[in-house]
A and B are shown apart, each in its own frame.
Chain A
Amino acid sequence: MSLLQVIEAGFGYEKQEIFRKLNFQVKKGEVFCLLGPNGCGKTTLLDCILGVRQLNAGKILLNGQDLNTFRSGQIARHIAYVPQSHERTFPYTVMDIVKMGRAAYTGRFSAPSKLDKAIAKEALEMVGLFHLRHRPYTQLSGGEAQLVMVARALAQKTPMIIMDEPTAHLDFKHELEVLETIVELVGDSQISVIMATHFPNHAFYFENKKLPTRVALMHDHNFLELGQPSEVIAEESMKTLYGVNTRLISCATGERSELKQLVPISTIS
């Protein structure tokens, strides 16, 4: 059975339709990439899956059960969220932030237990930031802070993590670090990841790492195409999706492994 099933989903604001009749499912241990231009509704769709917004039409099934029957505490035990950009207000320590991932398992009037602390510690070790645990997270670099957000999501111990452009604002290396962490999670822990991204090459990266990867191209209120990266991401579809002329190249990254890359050439004016 699919972990997540989205059936005939539609959402719109009063005068503006965002998407309609979307259908897809996400299985265990799978990466699901959402591609599409700015403002196409990727974040809105993710918000609906997170229960932050309600669909106008259709339904979302989580483990076969209608999402509307879940309370926020229950959703948080199924789906964790890594925000696009996290506004850092108070200088909490890194450990304090990761411990907040345990809120769904902690009573309203209590604080994280020893067990919660151990789980938070484990999550920090997984992203390789345990040595920073006592540092105020406001002092970390953007990439480190994003990995802290990933650790917080891991501490939620959910079968699924939703990431909204997790590599936005990150430098060359940190971007790769986040991607490598995702590969570990999906490959080793069989977590499912839904990821909105601006880079078609991210999908190729996951495919090249032998992860079950699917891509949805969001265009004109619906999915233009949905399938495996090498089937879907092509020069023609990118022209429709972004209005960009591209060239698909492939480079050897080792014996019998080659990484496809999409190179942008020019915009269509």
Chain B
Amino acid sequence: MLLIISPLLCIFASLFIGRYPLSIDEVIRILWCKMAQLPCEVLDIKQTIVWDIRLPRAILGALVGGCLAISGAAFQGLFRNPLVSSGILGVSSGAGFGAALAIVMFSSVSSATYIFAFAFGTLAVFLSYIIGRVYDTTPTIMLVLGGVIVSSVFSALISLLKYVADPYQQLPAIVFWLMGSLATARYSDIVAAGLPMLVGIAGLLAIRWRINVLSMGDKEAHTLGVNLAVDKGLVIISATLATAAAVSVSGIIGWVGLVIPHICRMLVGNDNRVLIPASLSMGACFLILVDDLGRIITGSEMPLGILTALVGGPFFVWLLKKTKGGNW
């Protein structure tokens, strides 16, 4: 229950946060009349701020944060390694390359950027999987190696694109995109990226107990009766859909996919039946709150990728000290 309510509360709270002050009464009236499709007596500008700027941004933040955290938690289990994050199979670097390529080709950020980012993000994971395939199985260690190789190749390609990009228009666009932001969130983004994100989330939620069994390692999981190819494949596909879609609308936001699952491990334990939904919820809350912070601490927007680490780092240290590492 708490897991569902807290992201909703965060979304609601973030409607008040920003440079333009609004009262509770006004926000509720705007939400009510927009949803009931009644004429509003509140100022037009206030309506736009709440309904067309802050609300889509908060919803997208929740989706992106939730996706990154839930995929990170799933991959940590699958790869039996608590240091793994959602980008382990190269999805972030692939998406970054796709976005940079689109920016160089079309000279600005456009809808092609999203499509390219999503396509190359999934392509990167597919390549990692192909590289990791030996005979007819995919040992976990080979998958990780595949991910490392693919990530570094795509990182090099990103650098190459930065090098050849026009330094006045394209280069800043690439750099800003890579730092991650929700500032341009619109409902159309939510609709376009929402479907793969929700499919991915639903897949991971459905298969979450199996991730426990998969985290016993290939041989033991097999002898416990798991069809490795199918179950591993489902986890990878779901996590990839969620992460690639998230990265393609928000840019590269590090840290969430690594640390939120960890924080949840300390709070709710390691059983993926609880951990997976908890990561989803906590990731959503975390990103909404960080995004709120990003738009109030400085006059201009602070890129999200910077803030997640600056806020998350000290918080993580505090929690580590408090729980004494939580059984690690």
CB within 8 Å for A77 and B225 given contacts A52-B219, A90-B270, A91-B270: yes
B212 touching A96, Cβ below 8 Å: yes
- Contact bitstring A32-60, B, C-beta under 8 A = 1, else 0: 00000000000000010011100000000
Residues of B near A50 (CB, < 8 A) are 219, 222-223
A86: shortest Cβ distance to chain B, in Å? 7
B81 interface residue, CB < 8 Å from A?
yes
A22: shortest Cβ distance to chain B, in Å? 20
B209 touching A106, Cβ below 8 Å: yes
A108 interface residue, CB < 8 Å from B?
yes
Q: Which single member of A75, A105, A108 contacts B231 (CB below 8 Å)? A: A108
A18: shortest Cβ distance to chain B, in Å? 17
Cα–Cα, bound, A211→B213 (Å): 33
- Contact bitstring B218-260, A, C-beta under 8 A = 1, else 0: 0111111111101100100000000000000000000000000
A72 touching B225, Cβ below 8 Å: yes
A111 to chain B: closest residue by CB: B209
A94: shortest Cβ distance to chain B, in Å? 12
CB within 8 Å for A138 and B224 given contacts A83-B219, A89-B82: no
A124: shortest Cβ distance to chain B, in Å? 16
Residues of A near B206 (CB, < 8 A) are 109
Interface residue ranges of B274-328 to A (CB < 8 Å): 326-328
A81 touching B270, Cβ below 8 Å: no
B210 interface residue, CB < 8 Å from A?
yes
A237 interface residue, CB < 8 Å from B?
no
| Inter-chain CB contacts under 8 Å: number | 92
B227 to chain A: closest residue by CB: A72
A92 interface residue, CB < 8 Å from B?
yes
B76: shortest Cβ distance to chain A, in Å? 8
CB within 8 Å for A86 and B223 given contacts A91-B328, A106-B209: no
A89 to chain B: closest residue by CB: B80
A103 interface residue, CB < 8 Å from B?
yes
A250 interface residue, CB < 8 Å from B?
no
A112 interface residue, CB < 8 Å from B?
yes
Cα–Cα, bound, A109→B206 (Å): 5
Residues of A near B234 (CB, < 8 A) are 108
B270 touching A100, Cβ below 8 Å: no
A79 interface residue, CB < 8 Å from B?
yes
B212 touching A71, Cβ below 8 Å: no
Residues of A near B328 (CB, < 8 A) are 91
Cα–Cα, bound, A65→B19 (Å): 73
B269 interface residue, CB < 8 Å from A?
yes
A253 interface residue, CB < 8 Å from B?
no
Residues of B near A29 (CB, < 8 A) are none
Residues of B near A255 (CB, < 8 A) are none
CB within 8 Å for A100 and B231 given contacts A90-B270, A91-B270: no
CB within 8 Å for A73 and B227 given contacts A92-B212, A100-B213: yes
Residues of A within 8 A of B (CB): 47, 50-52, 71-77, 79-81, 83, 86-87, 89-93, 96, 100-101, 103-106, 108-112, 136, 138-139, 152, 156
Residues of B within 8 A of A (CB): 77, 80-82, 206-210, 212-213, 215-217, 219-228, 230-231, 234, 265, 269-271, 273, 326-328
